[in-house]
Chains A and B, each alone.
Chain A
Amino acid sequence: MAANPMTQFEVYRIGPEIKIGTFDISFTNASLFMIVSSFAILFIFNLGSKKNSMIPNKIQLLAELSYSFVAKMISDTAGSKARPYFAFIFSLFMFVLFCNMFGMIPYTFTVTSHIIVTFMLAAFIFIGVTIIGFIKHGFGYLKLFVPSGVPIILLPLIVVIEIISYLSRPISLSVRLFANMMAGHTMMKVFGGFVVSLGIVGGWLPLSFSVALTGLEILVAFLQAYVFAILTCIYLNDALNLHH
């Protein structure tokens, strides 16, 4: 099992098989780590918001810093109109971040390294943003595909390109996160395998690579969660403040 770098992404059933109709919704290791991440978030932020002391303790400071970090990110990219969606973007950012970070612990499962999970999140965001755009602007939201100041001759081409780029948003959003996580974990596994196969004599170089990669992967884990959240904010900005 340890030799194959892809086995770490395998989903397996924990406990009995649960079926609703023809759908298999068994509890798996992926489900386990989704629950672990969610509960870790809820635990930390519940602790951080329990007591309101004038001078916050460490965990309260952590919760409040994350709150103001996400709040600033949203207000910078999507303006004050995005205020009602703060809770969603906050939970999205935290969920992705915690799933990524839990994946960094050895022998754990990385939920976000599965295309179906990231694609579901991205598709939900895409559909939600589109609905918000049509509710806010009606059919005027279609003006998003017609940038102003474009020569009439180029317009059909531009509109087609804009529509394709709009429709590819969920794919790019989901594949970016999934590919980053999968590539990073595979690399780490490969280098870890080298350490074992090269032994005590030649294993030091891949080991040092592995250490460096761990640092890089922690950075990537944060960065990808941030990118995921900020792109959601940008899409939301397009839907809320239509200006072209």
Chain B
Amino acid sequence: MIKKIFFQSIFFNFFFLREVFAAESGGMPQLNPEFWVSQIFWLIITFGILYIVLSKFILPKISSNLELRKSQIQENIETAEKQREISEIKLKEYDEIILKSKLEAKNIFKNAREKVIKEINLKKETLDKQIDEEISNAEEEIKTLKRDATDKINKIAIETSSDLLKKLIGTEINNSSISAIVDDLWKKNKDKYYGS
């Protein structure tokens, strides 16, 4: 079918062309030189006007528009980049501040702890000293008491023995002789009664 139409078209074409050949001398209107000069003239005028207006007025505008947009976009990108950098710096600063404050808090805590420990130690020391002093005082007292005790006991022994003798014998005996005996006894039995 398509082939048929194709052949038909060729046939019709020839038919038409023959008609045209019959009607005109040139066949194709394009080869008729009657209006060639007119076409050349109007082509030069229209194309010339088109070229001049486009190149002088319109194309520079489009070009500058494109450039402007390009530079604007570039600028925007640059500012965005700058803002990003600034925000990054801020973030870093913020992190640093947090780190610093954390460290500070740690330091404060540490200092306070040390202070408290020191105070506790100081108090402990003073208390120890006081206790030591009191202990030594008490020991000294005990020592003096110990020392005095023998004399007192000796005295009591002498007095009681002289009283006893007086009641037993009825006569008074010289105290010095009694004390001599008591001394003698005390020296002999010293270890027995008092320890070392």
Query: Hey, which bits of chain A sit against chain B, CB under 8 A?
Result: 3-7, 9-11, 13, 23-28, 30-31, 34-35, 37-38, 41-42, 45-46, 48-50, 52, 54, 60, 63-64, 67-68, 86-88, 90-91, 94-95, 111, 113-117, 120-121, 178, 182, 186-187, 190-191, 193-194, 205-206, 209
Among B7-26, those with CB < 8 Å from A are 8-9, 12-13, 16-17, 19-20, 23
How many chain B residues touch A (Cβ–Cβ < 8 Å)? 48
Q: Which A residues are in CB contact (< 8 Å) with B49?
A: 38
B5, B16, B17: the one contacting A205 at CB < 8 Å is: B5
Whether the Cβ atoms of A115 and B30 lie closer than 8 Å is yes
Specify the main secondary structure of chain A where it touches its partner. Answer: helix
Q: Which A residues are in CB contact (< 8 Å) with B43?
A: 34, 111, 117, 120-121
* Additional 8 contacts, C-beta under 8 A, given A11-B29, A28-B42, A94-B50: A7-B29, A24-B37, A25-B38, A38-B49, A38-B50, A45-B58, A45-B62, A64-B62
Q: Counting CB contacts under 8 A, is B61 at the interface?
A: yes
Whether the Cβ atoms of B35 and A24 lie closer than 8 Å is yes
Whether the Cβ atoms of B39 and A114 lie closer than 8 Å is yes
B13, B19, B39: the one contacting A28 at CB < 8 Å is: B39
Known: A4-B16, A90-B54. A38 touches B47 (CB 8 A): yes
Whether the Cβ atoms of B16 and A3 lie closer than 8 Å is yes
Q: Which A residues are in CB contact (< 8 Å) with B55?
A: 87-88, 91
Q: Which B residues are in CB contact (< 8 Å) with A7?
A: 29
Q: Counting CB contacts under 8 A, is B151 at the interface?
A: no
B20, B57, B63: the one contacting A4 at CB < 8 Å is: B20
Q: How far is the CA of A37 from the CA of B45 in the complex (A)?
A: 13
Q: How far is the CA of A115 from the CA of B57 in the complex (A)?
A: 31
Q: Counting CB contacts under 8 A, is B109 at the interface?
A: no
Q: How far is the CA of A4 from the CA of B27 in the complex (A)?
A: 11
Whether the Cβ atoms of B13 and A116 lie closer than 8 Å is no
* Listed stretches B65-73, B116-124, B130-138; interface member: B65-73
Whether the Cβ atoms of B50 and A4 lie closer than 8 Å is no
Whether the Cβ atoms of A48 and B62 lie closer than 8 Å is yes
